[in-house]
Structure 1
């Protein structure tokens, strides 16, 4: 009997040591909490913010991401309270996401006095564009336009791309839209890193008002709170250009600092601010969402003293002037907008944001962005191989897209194209994992279907709109 106790005790010690070692490793410290975090957060947001069927949301967006971990991670949805909990095998590394009206879903880790009862409802209904068939028929080869849109949704290859929504504006008029089963013009699509372009737009409105200098040093509160004089040199422009120089790498492995920040941290700006400095500001380009988190925190503090005031300020600056009423910007647990990744809006409203740039920062005769803002965001950032400006992607060499194009882009194939010469805005949303979304081909096909008046040169004949060019930049989870 004594021997049995000794053996049992030894096994218990070994198990405890194994669990401790696992918890201290990147797998237990970041990977598994990130897995349960993304499941809780996304199932909450995709169900109660986007309005998707939960099974479709999981099958399209999450299961392909989780891979082998899908069999380990379980989740439970509380529809009455609009909460989702997730854990490994129903026991380990639990995470909880809570929905609040007007604020979307937030991962709650138990800190910062999170107020589950706080709401900031959107006060006006989403106003969709009406399809302008007369304008479409005047300006487009309608059969060609229909064919290129259908190609994004139909066929075996398209099935693997999981395109969920496409909308096309020409001269500010809706000329085409299509949605997959389960989605519609009322669906709030998760833009992922398209959110970075929205935050760059917020910066532009604050610059236009004279309230923000994007080149000022020492103006990032989260960095100043770290009390490191080296960090004071970093500017908003450095952060929006992904040149802050801090060690906040993201590589979509689930063990990287970005995953740790998004899915395990209550105070994301502080996490980003306390990372090691690897390069001087502006010296090194590396796509990292923590940069935009720091910039967002700085700008949010200019919008008001409380979260409801700040939400109202965000809406007043970039949403309401554009007629955007579906947008939800989700905050982290400490109330700071997750400005790198967590904006949701309908395809029409994402298109309205892009349309502001096609209209050179003007809306209804009012200048919302500085006159040179398009040039600023379209100026390639040194070190980005000419593919990243300030909060927007730029067309790669050989993409066959017009050189003045700027692009909003997000994880899993979210894309927005601003084509000022063609007066086009194209948005594409999906749940694309592990394959090329072929969104560049979609954009080229829409351009090829455009038939401007005789006085305007037509697109060069013979352009192969189906060339498979890798159009997916490194992006956040």
Structure 2
């Protein structure tokens, strides 16, 4: 009896030691909390923000991402309170995401200041664009256009690209759209890092208002709070260009600093600001979402004193003028917008945001972006091999895309192409993992379906605009 007791005690000690060691390792400290965090957060957002069926959301977006980890990570959905809790084997590394009207879903880690009852409802419902078949038939080889869209989807059950939605605007007119089963023009698609382009747009709006100097030193509050004068040299431009020089590596392994920031931290700007400085600002380009988090925190403070004021400020400055009413910009637990990754909107509304750049920053005759803002965001950042501007990706030589194209891009194959010469905006959304989404080919095929209008066809006057990824080919 005593022997069994001794053996049992030894096993308990070894088990406790093993659990302690696991908790202190990158797997226990970052990987598993990140895994449960992304499951809780995405199941909450994809279900109650995007409007997808929960099973489809998991099968399309999460199962391919989790891989073998999916066998030990489970989740519970509280439909009544709109909360999702995820854990490992129902016992360890619990993470909880909470939905709030107008604010989407937020991971709650137990930090102070989170108000589960706060809501900021949209003042107006989503207004879809109308398909303009007359304009389409005048300007496009419709068979070629239809073929380009169909090829983006193929067989949804067999095609591992998992394209979920495509929309095409020409001269501000909707000329094509298509959605996979389970998605529609009402679906709010997760843009992932397309959100960075929204933050670059906010920077432009604030510059035009005279409220922000993107090249000013000492203007990033989260960095100013750190006792290191070198950090004051980092500007908003450095951050939006991914040249801040801080150690916030992003490689989507689940053990990288970016995963730790997104899925385990209550105060993401503070986390990013306290990382080691590896390079002087502007000396090294490396794609890292923590840069945009710091820039977002700075700009959000210029929108108002409270989160509802700041949401209203973002809506009134960008979304409402463009006719965007579906957009949800989710905040972190401390109320700071997750401006690197967490904006959701319909395909039409993402296209409306891109159309602002097609229209040179003008909306109904009013300028909301500086007149040189397109050139600024399209200026290649040193060290990016010519492929990254300021919050936007740029085409490489292999892509065959027009040189003046700029692109919003996000994880799992989210894309928006602005092609000024062709007067095209093309958006593509999906749940693509491990294969090329071939979105660049879609853009080229749509562009190739353009044809000059027949001379004797009455011209249609343009309607006023209502409106860590690498580019694939």
Corresponding position of 1:404? 404
How much has 1:451 moved relative to structure 2? Answer: 0.4
Match of 1:385 in 2: 385
Q: 1:158 to 1:370 in 2, by over 3 A?
A: farther
Which residue in the other structure is 1:16 paired with? Answer: 16
SS of the aligned residue for 2:297 comes to helix
The answer for the alignment partner of 1:464 in structure 2 is none
2:47 — aligned with what? 47
Give SS of 1:160's match. coil
Aligned equivalents of 1:169, 1:351: Cα separation in 2: 7
Between the aligned partners of 2:155 and 2:42, the Cα distance in structure 1 is 27
Rounded Cα–Cα distance in structure 1 between residues aligned with 2:72 and 2:236: 41
Q: Residues 40-439 of structure 1 correspond to what in structure 2 (within 5 A)?
A: 40-155=40-155, 159-439=159-439
Q: Give the secondary-structure state (helix, strand or coil) at the position aligned to 2:109.
A: coil
> Measured at CA, do residues 411 and 305 of structure 1 come closer, stay the same or move farther in structure 2, by a change above 3 Å?
same
Q: CA shift at 1:120, angstroms?
A: 0.1
CA contact 1:356–1:362 (8 Å) conserved in 2: yes
Q: Deviations over 1:132-183 (max 9, x none)?
A: 0000000000000000100111237972100000000000000000000000
Q: What is the RMSD computed on CA atoms of the aligned residues? A: 1.3
- Give me the whole-angstrom Cα distance separating, in 2, the residues matched to 1:229 and 1:454: 63
Shift of 1:472: 5.3
Q: CA 1:429–1:403 in structure 2 vs 1: closer, same or farther (change >3 Å)?
A: same
- Structure 2: gaps of 5 or more residues: 456-467
TM-score w.r.t. the length of structure 2 is 0.96
Count of residues paired in the alignment: 460
Q: Distance in 1 between matches of 2:156 and 2:119?
A: 43
How far apart are 1:397 and its partner, in Å? 1.2
In structure 2, distance between residues paired with 1:307 and 1:356? 25
Whole-angstrom distance in 1 between the partners of 2:422 and 2:158: 26
Deviation of 1:440 after TM superposition, in Å, equals 0.4
Give, in whole Å, the separation in 2 of the partners of 1:12 and 1:226: 43
How far apart are the structure 1 equivalents of 2:268 and 2:12?
Answer: 37
SS in 2 for 1:12: helix
Secondary structure in 1 aligned to 2:444? Answer: helix
Task: Tell me what 2:36 maps to.
Answer: 36
Distance 1:115 1:472, change over 3 A: closer
Provide runs of 4+ in structure 1 moved above 6 Å: none
Supply the distance in 2 between the matched residues of 1:371 and 1:453 (Cα, whole angstroms). 30
Question: Could you tell me whether the CA contact under 8 Å between 1:151 and 1:158 is conserved in 2?
Answer: no
**CA-CA distance at 1:114 after TM superposition:** 1.0
Q: Which segments of 5 or more consecutive residues in structure 1 lack a partner in the other structure?
A: 456-470
1:5 deviates by 1.4
1:169 aligned counterpart, secondary structure? strand
1:473 maps to 2:442? no
Query: Could you tell me how far 1:474 is from its partner in structure 2?
Result: 8.1
Give the whole-Å Cα distance in 1 for the aligned partners of 2:429 and 2:212: 32
How far, CA to CA, are the matches of 1:222 and 1:182 in structure 2?
41
Which residue of structure 1 aligns with residue 458 of structure 2?
none
Q: Deviation string for 1:38-97 (max 9, x for gaps)?
A: 000000000000000000000000000000000000000000000000000000000000
Provide the secondary structure at the position in 1 that maps to 2:391: coil
The answer as to whether partners of 2:156 and 2:180 remain within 8 angstroms in 1 is no
